[in-house]
């Protein structure tokens, strides 16, 4: 199932701040997987406790990188419309 991705202003700014590099390619690959295959094993998608969307939506975390120092993550939730995902943040994992 193809999904539409909606990036918040924060997520768009974070994506635009990443210089053209291997990391940016990984981010774009991960966004592509979120559009087409949420169950892809490399995403390691799971609910992220402690955060919720503006309307109380469950927030999920997807891996851009794993087992590297300051590995990056994408935080997202379903909606607002059917077949849409809202990308909340694209950021290094603390």
* Contact in structure between 80 and 53 (CB atoms under 8 Å): no
* Grouped pLDDT means (10 residues each) for the chain, 94 residues: 93 94 94 95 93 92 89 95 95 84
Predicted TM-score of the model (pTM): 0.93
The pLDDT of residue 1 is 73
The pLDDT of residue 6 is 96
**Residue 77: helix, strand or coil by DSSP?**
strand
Q: Which residues pair with 58 in a beta bridge?
A: 52
* Bond prior to 80 in cis (omega within 30° of 0): yes
The pLDDT of residue 73 is 96
The pLDDT of residue 32 is 96
Fold of the CATH domain 4-92: YaeB-like fold (3.30.2310)
The pLDDT of residue 30 is 97
**Residue 48: helix, strand or coil by DSSP?**
strand
Q: Is 62 exposed, middle or buried (0-12, 13-18, 19+ CB in 10 A)?
A: buried
């Amino acid at each position: 199932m193809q999904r539409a991705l909606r990036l918040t202003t924060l997520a768009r700014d974070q994506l635009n701040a990443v210089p053209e590099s291997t990391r940016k390619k990984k981010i774009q690959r991960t966004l592509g997987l979120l559009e087409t295959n949420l169950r892809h094993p490399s995403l390691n998608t799971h609910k992220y406790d402690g955060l919720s969307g503006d309307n109380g939506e469950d927030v999920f975390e997807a891996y851009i990188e794993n087992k590297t120092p300051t590995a990056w993550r994408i935080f997202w939730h379903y909606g607002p419309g059917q077949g849409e995902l809202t990308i909340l943040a694209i950021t290094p994992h603390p």
